[in-house]
A and B are shown apart, each in its own frame.
Chain A
Amino acid sequence: MTELLVKNAHVIDPLSGINGETMDIAIRDGKIVEEVSAAADVIDARGMLTMPGGIDSHTHICGTKVNFGRYMSPEDMRAGRTPRRGPMHATSGYSVPTTYGNSYRYSVMGYTTLLEGAMAPLEARHTHEEFAYTPLQDTMANTLFDGNWSIMEAIRDGDVKRVAAIIAWMLTAVKGFAVKLTNPGGTEAWQWGKNVSCIRDPVPYFEVTPAEIIRSAIEANELLHLPHSVHLHCNNLGTPGNYTCTLGSMGLVPDLNPKRQTLYATHVQFHAYGGSGWKDFSSKSEPIANLVNMRPQIVMDMGQVMFGRTTTMTADGPMEFNLYRLHHEKWSNHDVELETGSGIIPVIYRRKNLVNSIMWAIGLELALLTKSPWQCLLTTDNPNGAPFVKYPEIIGLLMSRRYRDAEFAKVHPDTGSRVPLPAIDREMDWYEIAVMTRAGQARALGIQDLGKGHLAPGADADVAIYPIRIDEVDPSAEFQKVIDGFSRTEYTIKRGRVVARRGECVVHGSNATIWVRPKVSENYDMGKDPDFVEKFDRYYTVRMSNYPVQENYLSRSRCIETETEL
């Protein structure tokens, strides 16, 4: 039995309804408990800001695509080099660091749970292998269903239960966590050298539309009672004028689940563009935020862009090809048979570039114009908008109008006429930041019952203690203190152990992977479905029996079994 007592913590824990109380947190065997014995180790938090461990609900850190980003950009490995130190391995890389680099840097910022944003089912093993080397965070993986042949055929036949059954089989097979749709239909169209421009364009051959894919996936998701909702990367990413497509996609979503949203729209900054071309490119954050304010069934994340060098990577192959035609730099494109694809391009976002400046403003506007912080979570779509190490700066920008104005003065001079940002006065408070970086994520991902994102007794003892005294710091004026504080925890506690202390990781750690097994009846077991089996034998390059990821790929397996309507 190991016991730990965190004394005099100044706690913000939105899911437990705690907003700034000085209290003690008792931990036994990796869980929060009511009290511990006098023999417990004691950490004196001395009134420092204490929150549940951070959760990133959309980041690209592990898997084939990330690793190909590493292959493509050996120059990225020249940045961020740290030597081996204590239990820490050597790391390198900035926008696509080594797995240990990701894990240590997240841990130092107080993050304890990560969702890999896109895992191609066929290549799931790679993701799980890298998870095992991301030891200081619990991990889960969005599983890509945007261009799945069997699913599109089931949608064409109007059989939502079959869609659900295929999702259930796939998630179980690849140890995935949630349903991800990346440019639904578009990546399959790309295999025909085409794309879909919005939700009403049919996918070649399959003759289903993105709207049908989105709606069927949402219905199937709810039939399976999955913890997370459908996780959608809308069609038409990065195109001027794409906000109408985003509004149209959001308009498709019914309110089907009382516990959480019905649709999680990711990196919405990339989907909130006005204008008819790059010349009249502008922000359309207002109509998007207005719609989200009226629809509690939608949660989005920012996908904030920050200036500097980074790598864009997505399953949205055709979008990356368009980006390649703009930049004419190195580009990779990848096809995942029967399932999806991907593309990667390194980019530099520049303040001097008007389009980049507008993109920077849009992310902030989405967060500031969305009334409820539970509906707009903080991300950069790491590393697409910026590497996650920029999160503290984004927190600073959200909390301080003065900091925003100072940064706004440095961007392209024409930005002011294209974006509403200068007119927004809102400054977020500590509680709202706590929602946007952990509590909101836990609720949106449906993992609060697993003990994530809060500090009530029974929860996982994942705690972040930041060296900030919130009654002494005025975030509006002293934004630099906010940035420094969120960049480096005093203590990061994971599963009841101190894992990071003032910028140093102090244990090797061991991650748990959270995945989902929907329980379906015999009739809906796709492993025994003759058509599905035949499709596998005929078209896949692997045998069906070799396809599932064995459980021993998971260093600690946390399986969520769901009761379904199948």
Chain B
Amino acid sequence: MMRVTLAMKPMGGWSIPIEAESIVPVNFLSGTDLSVWRGNRELGIEEAFSVLVEGDADRAEDVEVVLSGETARLKRVGEYMGAGKITVLGDIGMHCGNFMSGGMIEIQGNADGWLGREMAGGSIICRGNAADYCASGYRGGRKGMTGGSVEVFGRAGDFLAENLAGGTVVVHGDAGDMPGAEMRGGTLIIHGDCRRPAANMKNGACYVYGTARWMLPTFRKVGTAQQDGRTLIQFTGDVANRGKGNLFVGNYEYLD
């Protein structure tokens, strides 16, 4: 096992986020000669972090990267990650786990926008809140997340799991506006409340255990269904998109 601890140095007055797509477990197999970017300036990893490497590994699965310090403005950590583990002790910046295909990311604090964007496999656990566009696709793209799992123990922002095409997304708290918009597959579970779920959904399943506010009128009510010992009201749609998706809600309110 190899354990790489990256303690982020104080930003020293810099407000520009650091782009750190190089922080992926596999990269540490060949040493710590990596760089990150602050705006248009390339920094050696030692300039931005205190680096401590313990143990040894010859495959990415055996590498764990632990991030600590002021990581709330550290972007693109774990991008294209295929194996291994990343643990973030505090908050993490935008685009964490973009395009991830395997391995695991655990965030003890909150995650900024675009957590697990377009991920294809692996798992992400966020113990705090996730901001907008968690587990979503990207601007204009036809497919968002295609596989893997994202679990958020706090709240999620707007456009959660937008364009979801596969995999599982679970949010234990509330979600914001438009969760599961343009969904075409996969499973989205929201334990709390949300607003306008599953707009224009084509396929897949969306569960809202709490109340769906501003419920869209383009879903057809089918009946009730049992899930996790709860009785949920089942809808199908989005009829406006000739959709065949299933939307299950604990309660719903139409916009007056």
A binds B: yes
Q: Which residues of A contact B (CB under 8 A)?
A: 72-76, 78, 328-329
Measured in the bound complex, the distance between the Cα atoms of B124 and A64 in whole Å is: 42
Q: Which residues of B contact A (CB under 8 A)?
A: 138-142, 241-242
* Cβ contact within 8 Å between B141 and A75: yes
The distance from the CB of B19 to the nearest CB of chain A, in whole angstroms, is 15
Measured in the bound complex, the distance between the Cα atoms of B177 and A232 in whole Å is: 48
A-B contact pairs, 15 of them (CB 8 A): A72-B140, A73-B140, A74-B138, A74-B139, A74-B140, A75-B138, A75-B139, A75-B140, A75-B141, A75-B142, A76-B140, A78-B138, A328-B241, A328-B242, A329-B142
The distance from the CB of B114 to the nearest CB of chain A, in whole angstroms, is 14
The distance from the CB of A448 to the nearest CB of chain B, in whole angstroms, is 42
Measured in the bound complex, the distance between the Cα atoms of B141 and A72 in whole Å is: 10
User: B241 — nearest CB in chain A belongs to which residue?
Assistant: A328
- The 4 lowest CB-CB distance pairs between A and B, nearest first, are A74-B140, A75-B140, A74-B139, A75-B141
Measured in the bound complex, the distance between the Cα atoms of B142 and A238 in whole Å is: 24
Most chain B CB within 10 A, of A73, A75, A78, A329, is at A75
Measured in the bound complex, the distance between the Cα atoms of B142 and A72 in whole Å is: 12
Most chain B CB within 10 A, of A72, A74, A76, is at A74
Q: Which residues of B contact A78 (CB under 8 A)?
A: 138
The distance from the CB of A75 to the nearest CB of chain B, in whole angstroms, is 4
User: B141 — nearest CB in chain A belongs to which residue?
Assistant: A75
The distance from the CB of B167 to the nearest CB of chain A, in whole angstroms, is 20
Q: Which residues of A contact B139 (CB under 8 A)?
A: 74-75
The distance from the CB of B164 to the nearest CB of chain A, in whole angstroms, is 16
Q: Which residues of B contact A76 (CB under 8 A)?
A: 140
Measured in the bound complex, the distance between the Cα atoms of B243 and A328 in whole Å is: 12
Q: Which residues of B contact A74 (CB under 8 A)?
A: 138-140
Q: Which residues of B contact A72 (CB under 8 A)?
A: 140
User: B242 — nearest CB in chain A belongs to which residue?
Assistant: A328
Most chain A CB within 10 A, of B138, B140, B141, B242, is at B140
Measured in the bound complex, the distance between the Cα atoms of B143 and A75 in whole Å is: 11
Q: Which residues of B contact A75 (CB under 8 A)?
A: 138-142
User: A348 — nearest CB in chain B belongs to which residue?
Assistant: B142
Measured in the bound complex, the distance between the Cα atoms of B141 and A73 in whole Å is: 8
Q: Which residues of A contact B242 (CB under 8 A)?
A: 328
Measured in the bound complex, the distance between the Cα atoms of B140 and A73 in whole Å is: 5
Measured in the bound complex, the distance between the Cα atoms of B198 and A329 in whole Å is: 17
Q: Which residues of A contact B140 (CB under 8 A)?
A: 72-76
Q: Which residues of A contact B141 (CB under 8 A)?
A: 75
The distance from the CB of B34 to the nearest CB of chain A, in whole angstroms, is 20
Q: Which residues of A contact B142 (CB under 8 A)?
A: 75, 329
The distance from the CB of B72 to the nearest CB of chain A, in whole angstroms, is 26
The distance from the CB of A94 to the nearest CB of chain B, in whole angstroms, is 13
The distance from the CB of B39 to the nearest CB of chain A, in whole angstroms, is 15
The distance from the CB of B21 to the nearest CB of chain A, in whole angstroms, is 15
The distance from the CB of A386 to the nearest CB of chain B, in whole angstroms, is 19
Measured in the bound complex, the distance between the Cα atoms of B241 and A74 in whole Å is: 22
Measured in the bound complex, the distance between the Cα atoms of B138 and A36 in whole Å is: 56
The distance from the CB of A548 to the nearest CB of chain B, in whole angstroms, is 36
- Not counting A76-B140, A78-B138, A329-B142, a sample of 5 additional A-B residue pairs whose C-beta atoms are within 8 angstroms of each other reads A73-B140, A74-B139, A74-B140, A75-B139, A328-B241
The distance from the CB of B239 to the nearest CB of chain A, in whole angstroms, is 14
Q: Which residues of B contact A329 (CB under 8 A)?
A: 142
Measured in the bound complex, the distance between the Cα atoms of B142 and A558 in whole Å is: 44
The distance from the CB of A549 to the nearest CB of chain B, in whole angstroms, is 31
The distance from the CB of A179 to the nearest CB of chain B, in whole angstroms, is 35
User: A73 — nearest CB in chain B belongs to which residue?
Assistant: B140
Measured in the bound complex, the distance between the Cα atoms of B139 and A26 in whole Å is: 51
